[in-house]
C-alpha cells in the first residue's frame, strides 16, 4: 500500500517538473525592464566629449553640453536638447564640422537628425546652412529636404533639397534658386 502511494507521488512530482521545465521561457529583457518606464530616460549626461576611432585614427568627435539617453525604448535614441558640435575627420586628417541647436542620434539606423541653425563647414571653407539636416554615419552622407544656402568657392547658392557626401565633392541640389558670384 505504501508503495502504491509512493508511486503516485513520484508520478505527480515528475509531471509537475516536466510542466515547469516546458513552461519556462527566456524573458531576461522583460526582467531587465521591470521598474523602468519607456518614457523615462535611462540616463542623462552633462558635458559630452565622445571620440570615435577606427584603425587607430580619430574619425569623429561629438561635443555637447547635455545628452539624454533613451536606449531603453524599442527604437532607442540619444537626444541632445542643447545642440551639438560634430567634428568629422577624413583619411588625411582634414576636419569638417557640423553645428546644430538640437540633435537626435538613432541607435539602430546610425542616422543623426540635426535641427535648428544647422551649419556644415568643410576643411575647404565650403559651408551649408539649413534649418534641418540628416547625417548618415555609415555612408557619411548629408541630406535635407528643407531650404538651404551653400557657399562654395566664390559662389552662393540657395534652394530647397540638398544631397551630398560630407565634403561636397559629389552633391546634388534638388531645387536651385540660382547662383550668385561673389566678389573677392
Average pLDDT over the chain, rounded to whole? 83
Give the lowest-confidence range in 8-12, 31-35, 57-61.
31-35
Phi, psi of 81 (to 5 degrees): -70, -20
Q: Does some domain include residue 8?
A: no
Calculate the alpha carbon distances from 88 to 29, 74, 143 in Å.
35, 29, 16
pLDDT, tens digit (0-9, with 9 covering 90-100), for 91-149: 888 999 999 999 999 989 989 999 999 999 988 888 999 999 999 988 889 899 999 99
- The gap from C-alpha 157 to its chain's centroid, in whole angstroms, comes to 29
Q: Does some domain include residue 67?
A: yes
How many structural domains does the chain have? 1
Please determine, for residue 23, whether its predicted confidence score (pLDDT) is greater than 70: no
Residue 130: which domain range? Answer: 39-174
Q: Does some domain include residue 131?
A: yes
Q: What is the pTM of this model?
A: 0.71
Q: Are the beta carbons of 173 and 162 closer than 8 angstroms?
A: yes
Q: Does some domain include residue 4?
A: no
Q: Are the beta carbons of 124 and 151 closer than 8 angstroms?
A: no
Q: Does some domain include residue 71?
A: yes
Q: Does some domain include residue 57?
A: yes
Beta strands (DSSP E) in the chain are 43-54, 57-69, 77-80, 84-89, 95-100, 102-106, 111-121, 127-136, 141-152, 155-165, 171-181
The residues that bridge with 167 in the sheet, in sequence order, are none
Q: Does some domain include residue 5?
A: no
CATH number assigned to the domain comprising residue 132: 2.60.450.10
Amino acid at each position: 500500500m505504501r508503495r502504491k502511494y509512493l508511486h503516485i507521488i513520484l508520478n505527480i512530482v515528475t509531471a509537475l517538473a516536466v510542466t515547469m521545465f516546458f513552461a519556462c521561457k527566456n524573458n531576461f529583457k522583460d526582467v531587465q525592464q521591470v521598474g523602468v518606464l519607456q518614457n523615462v530616460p535611462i540616463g542623462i549626461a552633462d558635458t559630452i566629449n565622445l571620440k570615435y576611432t577606427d584603425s587607430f585614427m580619430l574619425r569623429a568627435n561629438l561635443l555637447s553640453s547635455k545628452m539624454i539617453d533613451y536606449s531603453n525604448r524599442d527604437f532607442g535614441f540619444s537626444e541632445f536638447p542643447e545642440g551639438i558640435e560634430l567634428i568629422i575627420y577624413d583619411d588625411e586628417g582634414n576636419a569638417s564640422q557640423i553645428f546644430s541647436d538640437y540633435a537626435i542620434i538613432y541607435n539602430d539606423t546610425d542616422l543623426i537628425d540635426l535641427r535648428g541653425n544647422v551649419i556644415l563647414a568643410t576643411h575647404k571653407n565650403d559651408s551649408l546652412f539649413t534649418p534641418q539636416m540628416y547625417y548618415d554615419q555609415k555612408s557619411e552622407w548629408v541630406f535635407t529636404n528643407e531650404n538651404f544656402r551653400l557657399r562654395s568657392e566664390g559662389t552662393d547658392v540657395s534652394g530647397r533639397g540638398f544631397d551630398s557626401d560630407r565634403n561636397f565633392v559629389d552633391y546634388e541640389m534638388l531645387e536651385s534658386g540660382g547662383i550668385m558670384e561673389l566678389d573677392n
